[in-house]
Every structure is written in structure tokens, then in C-alpha cells.
Structure 1
Amino acid sequence: MTRSGWWGMMALGLTVLTAACGSETPDAGERPTPIRRIPIVENEFTPVELEATVDTLIAEINKSSFEPMQMALVLKSAAGFWTSVITAANRAMGELEVTGTVIGPLVPQDDVEVAKQLLNEQIEQTVADGAEGLGIAPLNDDQAAVVDEAIAKGVHVVTLDTDVATSKRAIHVGTLDRYAGVTAGDTLLAMLPPAPGTVIIHGNADEAWSSGIDRTQGAQEVFEAAGYEVLVRQSSWNPDGEAEDVEGMTAELETADPPVVGMLGLFNISYRCAMAAEAAGKTDIPIVAFDFDPKTVDYMRKGRIKATHIQRQYYQGYLVPYILYGIKSIGLDATKEILAPQMVDDSRVNTGLDVVPGDKIDAYNDFLYSIDANQ
């Protein structure tokens, strides 16, 4: 999850961003033509197993009768992180020939209560408008009640990016944070000298943000198991957060005992690790980042950041309409059976991460361009 992506836009209100629908949706019955995916060009970053799972799901749906369906995706924002989700969701709904809408609330940057209210209202409105399936990117468990109300009315609900595990949602699709932390930790671990040594994690220790805790703890466990000391620097998105983070990590770089041997950033502001290393005069320390912020890319091109980890939000947006349609056409259990290679338990699909080395930036950009998921 990209925390800054919660707020995307600044004005109050609600907006319908875009819609995908078949111009003449066929009546229920035998499927007139099989679903055909828009082809993509395979390259080294193509998630082969994930692609194979989608193909299997489509093959099973094609064996069933055609079921007209109205669905909607209700997102936290329309900008940045979410643009490729919108592209992918519309592509999937177009391939399915369903009536579909992607919606994002416009919220004030710092008002969580208004954000929660607007998101809840939009979920309620899509249900009132006749949606049979909902893909929801919730803020947190504050959406549990409205999700359960939708389910009680017969609506299938799948969450993406963030979850409401306390609700009765059918499936969650996203980058599962503990697994993401472990993956990022393993990437940096391969670059470190043997223990002893200290690793700085630019992460989260605030228990109010459980997914940030999960990602941080996943990484921390990797380094502690290998014998390293770990210092967790609390990431800050406050107006003065950058200066606070850089100063704090610079001090840790200068005073840590044993000395710092590596740094790991776990959110979209990971580039601050490189800023701190430069300020401390320790530019030889390996740094691994998260997300694809332009500043992170700049430091990768300079060789200061060795690799980054990027969420597959495009595939989250693409999978959700197919899962919703699968639940209706072949049933929840059959849909879960097909998704099993990507599921970590009975209800969570892990879309995983792309690990991008510093010398593969252009190749990764080419991959994103090929699926219309430019960041």
C-alpha cells in the first residue's frame, strides 16, 4: 500500500472516473463468444504464474453460461498509484462485457473522518444503483459495517490493496505486507557482509497502521534471523517529515554500534535513506527501496539505491472484476480453487512484488508501458 496514495486529490466531493461496459450486453444463456484477453508482450518482468492463473480462471468462466452483471470498483483515489488500477479494471470489465464503473472519492488531505464518510456513502450508492459485485479499496476496518451491509443485500465483495479482514468480504487481493517485507529483506540480505552489523529499516512502528507494522516486522525478522542488529526509523509523512527522517537516520548512521552495513526503505519515500547516507558520508552502504517514486529512480540511476520493490497494482485492478464475475458464474469455491497458487490462506490473494535492480529501470519502464501501467 502506498500511504500517500490514500489522499490522491484535494477537493471535496465524489466523482465517477470512468466506466467500462459492453455496448450491447447479451442476454443470459450460452456465451455467444468466448472471453478473449487483450494480449500483452511478455518480458522478464511478466508475472508468469499470475498470468497463468488469470488464463485458467477465464477458461473456466468460458465453460459456463453467460451471466450479465453490473459491478463497480470503489477506490481511495483516482491519482498516482491508482491510475493503473483504473486502466486494468476497465480493461477486464471490457473483456468480460459487463456493465462496470470505477469510482474514486475526492477527499481533503488531512480529514480521515470525511474520507471515511465519503467512501462509505459511495459504497452505499453503488449498491443502491444495482451493483451485484463490488471491488473496494477500503481505508481500514472502518468500512467493515458498510461492507457487511452490502453483502447482506446479496452483493459479492472483494477488497483490493487494503483489507477489511473483520468483514465478511469474500476475497482480498493485494500485496500482502508481511510477505512484502520478507521479500525486501531478502533482497538487501544478499548484498550485506556477514554479521555482525546494524541494518536501518525506514519503516513503521506505529500500531495504528497495522499493514505498515506487518511489512516492517517481516523485514526485521529476516535480518535478526541472520544475526544483525536492527534499528527501525519511524517514517514520517508530516510536512517536516523529510527533514526529520533524514536527520534521524543520519545520526543513526554516525553512531550505530555495530556500524550500519545496510539500509532498507519500505514505503514510497524510501529515497530518504539515500539522502541520509549522503549526509553521513556513507555512500558505499547498500540501500534497497520500495515503490517507484521519481526520486527513488534518480538515486537508482546514480547507483545509490541498488534495487526497489514495486507493487503490482495493475494486476490487482485486473483481477478483481474477473474474481467478482467468477464468483457469480462458477461460484466462490471454484474461483478460490483456481486462485489457489496465489492464495496464502482461505481468503487472501497475494499479487506479489516486482524486484527491480538498479540496472533494469528502463527495462521495467518498458514493461509498464506495454501493459499501460506507467508510473
Structure 2
Amino acid sequence: MRMIRRCWLTAFGLTLMAAGCGTSEPAGPGENATRIERAPVPDNEFTPVELEATIDDLVAEINENSVEPMQMTVMLKTLSTFFAPIATGANRAMGELGVTGNVVGPLEQTGDQQKSMELQNEQIEQALMDGIEGIGISPFGEANAAAVDAAVAQGVHVVTLDSDVATSKRSIYVGTINSSAGVTAGETLLAMLPPAPGTVVIHGSTDPTWIDGLERTQGAQRVIEAAGYQVLVRPVTWTDEGEADDVESMKTNIETADPPVVGLIGLFNVAYRCAMAAEAAGEPDLPVVTFDFDPKTVGYMREGRVRATHIQRQYYEGYLVPYILYGIKTLGLDATREILAPQMVDETRFNLGLDVVPGDKVDDYNDFLDSIGSNQ
């Protein structure tokens, strides 16, 4: 037990606490609980109205029941960069619910995925020893499935976010549905392209062991090829040193493709490399669309070199998970799924959707993120 705890504190070093900060209080026998009150969301063109309505419906139903104390934890791959808004959302939701909860994760990823998986499994084991009643987790892969199933076997509901372990007994996945996200990105680029024929370079993934990346890439590829264009996929290189390789490979594609390259799509957070490749090939005006809101991507958007990007609503990813875990405890899994139905694509997957941000809306989108406290 001490060894597990030491690993947790060393590898997952920072814990953000959110306990008893909400407006709800445990009710005594026969008493009505204080109503849960959500933090107001400013009206903005990027506010996800339908998603907000679903959250309000869930809160309203929870408010019809007596509030019960609950312990939960949300485990993230890291607490920085892409995951920082997720941590913000999760802490805010736990504060509103008044539960005893925390958000845990390392300040930075180690780069050793196998070690990260093992440590996350130890983290789950420790949570069970500590009496946690609900777990939200951004898993590293199928190697987390057995630990998730062990939690479920002890009566602890598990909700995955950002990435999934579909083979496990987790209750619900919350996040991007990658195949449809790829289609959306393809459609965004298609609106900017000259008529076919032409070639489109996709900075994506062909790795069959990374299902999320492969499905997103295949979704974009399908919609672009259906419109009559050829596709060249450059598999992303996940190292800083790999940036030069990615850029050089896509530069060569631009210089040699027949028919000529007419646009590029980057499907992950290093998508700005597409703009770098276009510049290196002497074609800085080629249409480029990207994913996520990396500072380098934002810089290229301001320069007009990235025409649009796709944001995965990380804040809402984190914000929804505690409410779903609490809904499952107080209402039951089936009732919670019924309330979430407008965004459920099947029995277990909740689609957060995407924000499509045009290049000339960078400041407006930053204002929206600031308004909900989730800027990276």
C-alpha cells in the first residue's frame, strides 16, 4: 500500500482538490437538500447551447432527489496543456456538487506510455483502497481495462474521458467521437478547395493500435476521397525531434504530388506542422485546417496561414464527468443515460461535438474560453 501511494505521489505529483465548495449540503433524514446551482455561462456565439441544455436537464433531475455525500476522483494523463481545461471543468463541477473529490495527474507526461499505464492502474487500486465511489479517467489504452473492470466489480462506476477503453465495463465514455470529428475536419477543408482533381495531405495516424487516431484519420480520408480528391497520409511523429521529419515529409508531398496538393489537414495538437510544411515548400497560401488550440496553431491562424481549427471542448469534458458520476449514484445508470440521450451516439458513448473556429475568430474564441475560465 505504501509503495502504491509513493508511486502515485511521485508520478502523478499534483492533486487538485474540490471538496465541499458547492452550494449543496448533505440532507438529514426527511430533509430536502439545498439545490445545486451551476456557475452561469455567458452568452457567446461559441456556447454549446444543446450541450448546456442537457447538463441543465441532468442537474434539474438531480435536484429532485436528496443530495448524498460522495467521494470521486478524476484521473488525467497530465494537468497541463491540453488537459488543463479538463481539470478546470472537473474541479468546478465537483465544487458545485459539494462532493469530496480531486483531480490527479502528473505535471507533464513521461513519454513512457507503458510506465504511465502501469502507474495509472496503481492509481485506480489506491482509489479503491481509499473508498472512492466514482472514477473518471483518461486512460492510456487497453492495458487499463483490467483495472477499470476491477473497480466496476467493487461497485464503483467508471466514466472514461478524452480516450476510451471500449472493451472494459466502464459505464460511459465522454469526449470526441473520432470518426465523425475526422469527417467534420474534412468538410471544413473541402469548403476551401478548388474543384477536384487534386491531392490533400493528411497529417494523421495509420497506427492500428491507436484506434482514436486511426478513426479520426479514416473519417477525414473518406469524406475527402468521396469528393474526388486523392489523399496522402503522413503519420504524425510524437516527439519534438520528429517535427523536422514531419515537415520535410509533407514538404516533399507538396513538391512532388500528382495531381498537385491543394490543401492540408492536421488532425492532432501538433497540426501546425502542416503550415510549416507549406511554408517550407514555398506554398504558404495552401489551405490548412487543424485540430486543437496549441499556441503555435493560434499564431499561424493570426497570420492567416491556418484557415480554421477544431476544438474538442475539453472544459466540458471535465465538467460533465463529475455530474455523470453523481447522476449515476443518485438516479441510476439507465436514468442518467436517458437524460444524456440527445448527445449519446449509442448505449455508452456521449459525443461532446466540436467547436469549429475560423482563423478570423481567434480573439472571439479566446474571449469565450476566458469567460469559462478554461484558456490553456
TM bin, normalised by shorter chain, reads over 0.9
SS in 1 for 2:13: strand
Matching residue of 1:237: 238
What count of residue pairs does the alignment treat as equivalent?
A: 365
Aligned-partner Cα distance in 2 for 1:267–1:107: 18
TM-score (norm 2): 0.94
SS in 1 for 2:45: coil
SS in 2 for 1:116: helix
Unaligned runs of 5+ residues in structure 1 are: 1-10
- Per-residue CA deviation, residues 326-358 of structure 1 (Å, 9 max, x unaligned), is 011111111101111111111000111111101
- Per-residue CA deviation, residues 5-54 of structure 1 (Å, 9 max, x unaligned), is xxxxxx95333411111169524554421111011211000001100000
Aligned-partner Cα distance in 2 for 1:92–1:108: 25
1:107–1:115 CA contact under 8 A, matched in 2: no
Unaligned runs of 5+ residues in structure 2 are: 1-8
Report matched runs for 1:1-375 at 5 Å.
Answer: 12-22=10-20, 25-27=25-27, 29=29, 30-105=31-106, 109-375=110-376
Following TM superposition, by how much is the alpha carbon of 1:113 offset from its aligned partner in structure 2, in angstroms? 2.5
Residues 94 and 238 of structure 1: CA distance in aligned 2, closer, same or farther (over 3 Å)? closer
- Amino acid of the structure 1 residue aligned with 2:282: G
2:199–2:232 CA contact under 8 A, matched in 1: yes
Aligned-partner Cα distance in 2 for 1:28–1:152: 30
Following TM superposition, by how much is the alpha carbon of 1:106 offset from its aligned partner in structure 2, in angstroms? 6.0
Residues 219 and 127 of structure 1: CA distance in aligned 2, closer, same or farther (over 3 Å)? same
Following TM superposition, by how much is the alpha carbon of 1:101 offset from its aligned partner in structure 2, in angstroms? 1.2
Aligned-partner Cα distance in 1 for 2:325–2:355: 25
- Per-residue CA deviation, residues 163-193 of structure 1 (Å, 9 max, x unaligned), is 1111000000011111111111110011111
- Per-residue CA deviation, residues 279-337 of structure 1 (Å, 9 max, x unaligned), is 11112211111111111111111111100011111001000000001011111111101
SS in 2 for 1:329: helix
Residues 296 and 108 of structure 1: CA distance in aligned 2, closer, same or farther (over 3 Å)? closer
- Amino acid of the structure 2 residue aligned with 1:351: L
- Amino acid of the structure 1 residue aligned with 2:353: G
Matching residue of 1:5: none
Identity over aligned residues, as a percent?
Answer: 64
- Amino acid of the structure 2 residue aligned with 1:22: G
Aligned-partner Cα distance in 2 for 1:224–1:230: 7
1:31–1:62 CA contact under 8 A, matched in 2: no
- Amino acid of the structure 1 residue aligned with 2:101: G
Following TM superposition, by how much is the alpha carbon of 1:221 offset from its aligned partner in structure 2, in angstroms? 0.4
Instruction: State the superposition RMSD in angstroms.
Output: 1.5
Aligned-partner Cα distance in 1 for 2:109–2:63: 43
Greater mean deviation of Cα atoms: 110-119 or 308-317: 110-119
1:177–1:212 CA contact under 8 A, matched in 2: yes
Following TM superposition, by how much is the alpha carbon of 1:208 offset from its aligned partner in structure 2, in angstroms? 2.0
Aligned-partner Cα distance in 2 for 1:363–1:33: 36
2:199–2:260 CA contact under 8 A, matched in 1: yes
